Amino acid sequence: MHSFIIGTCGHIDHGKTALIKALNGFEGDTTKEEKERGITIDLSFSNIQKAQQNIAFIDVPGHEKLIKNMIAGAFSFDCVMIVVSAAEGIKPQTVEHLEILNLLGVKEAIVVITKKDLVSQEELEEKRQSIVEFVGGFDFNIQLTKAVSIFDEDSIENLKEELFKLNASTKVEENFFHYYIDRVFSSKGAGTIVTGTVLGKPLKLEEKVFICERKKEVKIKNIQVHNENVMEANISNRAAINLSGIDAKVLKRGYVISKKGYLRGFNNIDIGFQVLKGKKLHHNRTYAIYLGSKKIDGKVLLFNSETHLESGFATIKANEEIFSIYNEKLIIREGNDTIAGGIVLNPVADPMKKSQKLKLLEFLSAKNFPKAYEILLNAHKKGLGLISSAQRFAQSHSDALESAKELENTFIDEKELVLYPLQTKEIIKKTLVDIYTKNQFALLSVASVKLRLKWASDSFIQTVLDELVRENFLIEDGSLYKNANIKEDLKTSLERILLERLEKEDISPTAPYNIYDDLDLDRTTGDNILKSLCSKKQVVRLQHNLFIHAQSLSKLVLSMKRIIKDEGYIDLKNFKEHYPLTRKYLITYLDYLDNFSQIKKVDNRRVFLSEFV
């Protein structure tokens, strides 16, 4: 089914809610306060359908003190229905709504002149011309202009038919699903339900979703689109999602729902902005920031001024995490005044110099992604993940790769989706050369190098190892790499080195993995060497991570038997008096005594059987 969203805008009491009711019978003002005051206070959601066409309506409040609620709905409009009373014409809240919608980038518009029955035909025509002329001063594509009265059924039906003819879908598919909560409640028998607009990608019933602010993945129990259970909610669908495993009390309007791994939250984001006529954005001042259905307080730090600007770049610094995406629109307000509109350019906080950041924002503003990548690579010399491109640039992985391929002097790991400046290869190369120079018997694999250089991808490491082989510095032996200058049998040499190490450490041997790291050995190779030494009975394995030289163990056992003979027993206390080792060693060696038939364990003591005393 084809679907798009029409949102209302206009001054209070110009008939927005009455018009929606006339179109589909939906009563938007349902709360006690709304009925008592006769005004819309919060958002309301309804729809009309015809064949395979669905039009969702978001009705917003027109009162100046309720702009925050209007913005919460306006970010998801595909098209705006500008509602103006024929009796009053353009009023202050009409103007502010139009300014906000312009700042949010809403382009498609319908002009509906209500209450036509209150004026003469001549006055109606004059009002129509002045309203259309005024709205024409904004950046809208006016698709339709109609005059109606809720008491004239023909005018309402005519408007409805024209709405079904519109082509107003504006949202495009992106790399991942995301969704701002605009309402949350608990329903008896169902549990937690949230409502919002589907963005980015469709949402399917069997999928899991991630509550960004709660850092929690949850299951979907049900999806409803306009009160009908569905298997999938498409882009621009108004969808109610029944969530399991989370309490409605911990969720709020403005929370972001997405898929795990796509969005990271940051306290700082960078934006481009443009103020409204006659306004200024001040440096180091706190404003109310509206992003999607979320409202936060954030300090604005200008890039090119310490006083104020009318346009430019700024950082928004908040006391809570912002889960944003490149190219998202936002509104900046102060008190009851709308000051500016902004566009998120850098939703990921990167540690970089101010001059670097400014250059990055210039490239991002121009959508010059290859140049933006160059700046970011200078700040991320040890790898820039292309996975983050979904959030950074609103790009798919394939598009991100295409942008990356335009870069020079860059290593691209297409499997792990990581970029590295080519000069970073020298860090890996120097590390490897230093290892093999220091220890000529080093025997490493890609995996063991990765343990030392966790930031380097397998493919990047392999590239450097291959280069060292071509330079005759290393020799490849299966999956292992050894020093090209070693002529003797490496396995025999390594067994000797490891055995000498254990002999020197005596009864306090180091854990195997630490020995491997010290000797620059691949772990599989190290394990095989220890197995060989154990089979030759030169080394004894007492635990999975405790190997001791056989001669050291024999001498220790003789000493332990002597303690039993002299003191009548051996336990943890008197053993420690003779050998101040850690409990790990003491308990292991005491347990080893249980292998001898002349020794038995009585409570926590080891003693000789009577015939051996």
Domain-embedded: residue 364: yes
Beta-carbon contacts of 214 under 8 Å, excluding residues fewer than 6 positions away, are 246, 250, 251, 255
Give the pTM: 0.76
d(Cα 127, Cα 139) in Å, to the nearest integer?
Answer: 20
Using alpha carbons only, what angle is made at residue 497 by residues 495 and 498, rounded to the nearest 5 degrees?
65
Q: Output the pLDDT for position 485.
A: 84
Of 483, 500, 534, the residue that ends a domain is 483
Q: Which helix (H) or strand (E) segment is 535 a member of?
A: helix 523-535
Residue 272 lies in a domain: yes
In whole angstroms, how far apart are CA 300 and each of 267, 333, 382?
12, 11, 31
- 358: β partners: none
Domain tally for the chain? 6
Q: Please give the Cα distance from 431 to 415 (Å, whole number).
A: 24
Q: Which of 228, 258, 288 corresponds to the end of one domain? A: 258
Closest CA to 256 of 149, 207, 184, 160: 184
Any domain includes 513: no
Which of 134, 164, 194 is the endpoint of a domain?
164
Q: What is the CATH number of the domain that holds 316?
A: 2.40.30.10
Q: What is the pLDDT of residue 80?
A: 92
Instruction: List the domain range (segments joined by +) for residue 402.
Output: 354-408
Same domain, 130 and 29: yes
* Token couple for 337: 């005044």
Phi, psi of 111 (to 5 degrees): -105, 120
Same domain, 34 and 112: yes
Question: Same domain for 297 and 434?
Answer: no
Answer whether 256's CB lies under 8 Å from 178's CB: yes
**CA 490 to the chain's CA centroid:** 47
Instruction: Decide: residue 172, CB within 10 A, 0-12 exposed, 13-18 middle, 19+ buried.
Output: exposed
Tokens 């498609």 correspond to what residue?
A: 108
Which of 427, 522, 529 has the alpha carbon at shortest distance from 481? 522
In a domain, 507, yes or no: no
Q: Which CATH number is 447's domain given?
A: 1.10.10.10
For residue 535, tell me if it sits in a domain. no
Residue 66, C-beta contacts closer than 8 angstroms, at least 6 positions apart: 40, 41
Structure tokens at 308: 């104020």
- Assess if residue 96 is contained within a domain: yes
Measured in whole angstroms, how far is the alpha carbon of residue 319 from the centre of its chain?
18
Regions of the chain where pLDDT drops below 70: 1, 27-42, 62-66, 488, 610-613
Q: Looking at the structure, tell me whether residues 50 and 69 fall in a common domain.
A: yes
Side chain identity, residue 486: I
Question: Is 82 in the same domain as 226?
Answer: no
390: which 2 tokens?
């979904």
Asked whether residue 241 falls in the same domain as residue 313, the answer is no
| Angle (deg, nearest 10), helices 153-164 and 16-24 | 80
Residues 236, 333, single domain; the answer is no
Using an 8 Å Cβ cutoff, are 196 and 293 in contact? Answer: yes
Q: Which CATH number fits the domain that encloses residue 103?
A: 3.40.50.300
**Unique residue bearing structure tokens 């025997």:** 443
Asked whether residue 537 is assigned to any structural domain, the reply reads: no
Looking at the structure, do residues 159 and 61 belong to the same domain, yes or no? yes
**Do 19 and 158 sit in the same domain of this protein?**
yes
Task: Cite the beta strand spans of 207-328 per DSSP E.
Answer: 208-211, 216-225, 228-230, 232-233, 238-244, 256-258, 266-275, 281-282, 285-291, 294-302, 308-309, 311-322
pLDDT for the residue numbered 593: 92
From the list 328, 317, 321, the residue with the least C-alpha distance to 393 is 328
Specify whether the CB–CB gap between 111 and 135 falls below 8 A: yes
**Same domain flag for 318 and 359:** no
509: nearest Cα among 535, 533, 543:
543
Residue 171 contacts residue 236 (beta carbons within 8 Å): yes
In eight-state DSSP terms, residue 373 is H
Residues 341 and 368 both lie in one domain: no
> For position 542, what pLDDT does the model report?
92
Tell me if 495 is assigned to some domain.
Answer: no
Contacts of 407 (CB under 8 A, 6+ apart): 370, 373, 374, 377, 419
Q: Are residues 253 and 292 in the same domain?
A: no
